[in-house]
Amino acid sequence: MSQRLLTQANGKLGKADLVNVLRKPEAWDKLPVEKQQALYAMLPPAPGGEAIDTTKHPLTTSYKPYLEPAIRQWQQDLRDGKLTKTWQDRAKEASAERAAGKFEDWKEKHSEQFWGQKAVVHASTRQESERPPG
């Protein structure tokens, strides 16, 4: 499978209804057993600790309510361009900058102990002419 297919925002994977495509039994049945087991190995323990038959389609198991939203989120990320190399590189750079404290001064300057705190402070320091009538 081409890397471009997995990262192209306006490609076929972005336009298809992936959840419905992947829900079909043949989508799972066409995978070799080794691939099915590898995919199950990536999942956390089953909800409720139940034993899962790894040959059973995961969208027919207790994983379904977790997998379907994850598939939709992946597809939305694809459409939004978040899977491109450029976006990924920028995200890694921003994460490194954040970890290095680049935004701490801004965060400290703009943070509030409670929501709206600075709005109250600003309102009380307004000039008489700046205050709303009333």
**pLDDT for 63-72, tens place per residue?**
999 999 999 9
Q: Are 75 and 8 in contact (CB under 8 A)?
A: no
Residue 95, pLDDT > 90, answer: yes
Its pTM surpasses 0.95 = no
Reduced to 3 states (helix: H, G, I; strand: E, B; else coil), residue 21 is helix
Of the two residues 115 and 104, the one the predictor is more confident about is: 104
Burial of 84 (0-12, 13-18, 19+ CB in 10 A): middle
Positive or negative, the CA dihedral 27, 30, 31, 34 is positive
Of the two residues 71 and 134, the one the predictor is more confident about is: 71
pLDDT tens string 111-125: 888 887 777 655 555
Q: Are 115 and 38 in contact (CB under 8 A)?
A: no
* Chain-centre distance for alpha carbon 14: 15
Residue 10, pLDDT > 50, answer: yes
Of the two residues 129 and 87, the one the predictor is more confident about is: 87
Residue 27, pLDDT > 90, answer: yes
Q: Are 57 and 67 in contact (CB under 8 A)?
A: no
The closest of 74, 60, 85 to 16, measured between CA atoms, is 74
Cα(88)–Cα(82) distance, integer angstroms? 7
**pLDDT of amino acid 114:** 80
